[in-house]
Amino acid sequence: GGAMVAMRMSPPAGDFVARAEAAAGDYAGSDDAVPFLIFVAQRAMGEKEHEANLRAAVDTLMKKHVESEAIVALPRLLGGLARVIGKDAADAHLRTIEQRNPVPSIRAWAIITLESNAFRQAKLDSADYKRARAELMRAKGMLTEEPDLAAYIQGMIDEREKLAVGMPAPDIDGVDLDGVAFKLSDYKGKVILLDFWGDW
């Protein structure tokens, strides 16, 4: 009946940050340093004593590796790092990646990360939503060689626009317990309770 002590979601970074920094130093100037710098940024997030390490890792990634294909994880990571380095700094880094990195999927992830909050939170008829949607469509247009990521972006748009409160439900077809085929649209105008569940 007493209060429980909160448990960490991940183990403390401990000396792993220092070891990763040393490894990044061993490979300084090459793309082999990037995974270690990304590790430092990920592991140091949420640990005040390692905040300076996180900032140094991001600074090195942006100054020395912004044009590298090895920074594929950085645009998504910057979305979470905004709490530590500040939203303005994170957004500036994302814009730099979008402008300077030659890899379309990395540029697209920078745009997705930049626009995701406005896209998910703005009203569908607002200027903010329309601008964010246009940016996502621009990112999708970059992905001629990345159909899965293009489909992910289209899925974001479809989810927001087709599954929004007040929108008609997408038609669903299936077979009922008696083996009779049905479609959701057969019940248009009637009150329906849909119960989605899984047995995993």
pLDDT tens digits along 15-28: 889 999 999 999 99
pLDDT value at 94 more than 70: yes
pLDDT tens digits along 127-158: 999 999 999 999 999 999 999 999 999 999 99
pLDDT of residue 69: 96
List % helix, strand, coil for the chain (3-state, nearest 5): 60, 5, 35
Helix (H, G, I), strand (E, B) or coil at 92: helix
Helix (H, G, I), strand (E, B) or coil at 139: helix
Q: What is the mean pLDDT of residues 150-175?
A: 89
Query: Binning pLDDT at 50, 70 and 90, where does residue 107 land?
Result: very high
Q: Mean pLDDT score of the chain, rounded to an integer?
A: 91
pLDDT of residue 164: 80
Query: Binning pLDDT at 50, 70 and 90, where does residue 9 land?
Result: low
pLDDT of residue 165: 80
What is d(CA 172, CA 182) in angstroms, rounded to the nearest whole number?
Answer: 8
DSSP string, 7-70: PPSS---TTHHHHHHHHHHHTTTSGGGHHHHHHHHHHHTT-GGGHHHHHHHHHHHHHHSTT-GG
